[in-house]
Structure 1
Amino acid sequence: MIRCALALAATVLASPLLAQTHRHFPADALRGEIKFLQPPAVQLNGKPQTLSPGSRLQGENGMGVLSGELIGRAHSVHYTLNTDGQLRDVWILNATERQNRVWPKSREEANRWTFDPSTQTWSKP
């Protein structure tokens, strides 16, 4: 019983710290600004876009969120697209992740830049 209480207390105390750490993003993730509309519709960088069936959305703390909870909100995100060009994965960036301003916003930029997955940083040529 005491061990369970200690484990719970450690989890609760650590959760704000976890929200401010860098998550690992895939090399094909792009950065953008998203506004959530009536699901599955969103605006990505000011243009209409659609969430794919089975898309995964993660909040700033890394926990899954439902698109319906985000209607009307705008966020800085990293995202990936499926083969049909729909949004597959969306990560709402936390304050620490937003500080890393060098991140490609288009496939063309990503093709020209170099990604270091261990440091989660991009280098421009």
Structure 2
Amino acid sequence: MYRCALSLTLAATCLVAQAQQHRPFPATALRGELQITQFPSVLMNGKPARLAPGARVRNDVNLWVPPAGLTGQKLVVHYTVESSGLIMDVWILNPVEFANKPWPTTPAESATWQFNPGNQTWIKR
């Protein structure tokens, strides 16, 4: 019994510690509000969009989650868009990542701002 309780406590501590760290996002990642309406259809920032075949959604501790299980929830995310315009990668933000501002919400912003991949910050030029 003691070993199980210790293992569960250790696992929970590791998940909390992982959630408090910045994940490395690509410079192409944009910030937005995602709502899955009827998989693979979504609303991104209130506008209709679609998830790409093979799209990956990761929760706030970087674990893969099935997108259909998030239907109806409004989530603040970072996401990438493939060349066809479909959403490919989605990261649900934890509180530390959400506090990392500013972050571009449009491709035009990311084209005019400067990204520092080392500390995952953007500087408006």
TM-score scaled to structure 1, two decimals? 0.91
The match for 1:107 is 107
Structure 2 residue 19 is the aligned partner of structure 1 residue 15: no
Where 1:15 maps in the other structure, the secondary structure is helix
**Which residue type is aligned with residue 49 of structure 1?**
A
Identical residues among aligned pairs (%): 43
RMSD: 1.8
The match for 1:120 is 120
| Deviating 4+ runs (over 4 angstroms) | 5-9
Deviations 1:40-71 (A, max 9, x none): 01100110000000000000110000111100
CA distance in 2, matches of 1:72, 1:106: 23
Equivalenced residue count is: 123
The match for 1:52 is 52
Indicate conservation of the 8 Å contact 2:51/2:88, yes or no: yes
Once the two structures are TM-superposed, the CA of residue 21 in structure 1 deviates from its matched residue by: 1.2
Deviations 1:70-97 (A, max 9, x none): 0010111000001100000000000110
The match for 2:74 is 74
CA distance in 2, matches of 1:46, 1:8: 39
CA distance in 2, matches of 1:9, 1:40: 36
Once the two structures are TM-superposed, the CA of residue 20 in structure 1 deviates from its matched residue by: 1.8
In structure 2, list runs of 5 or more residues that go unmatched. Answer: none
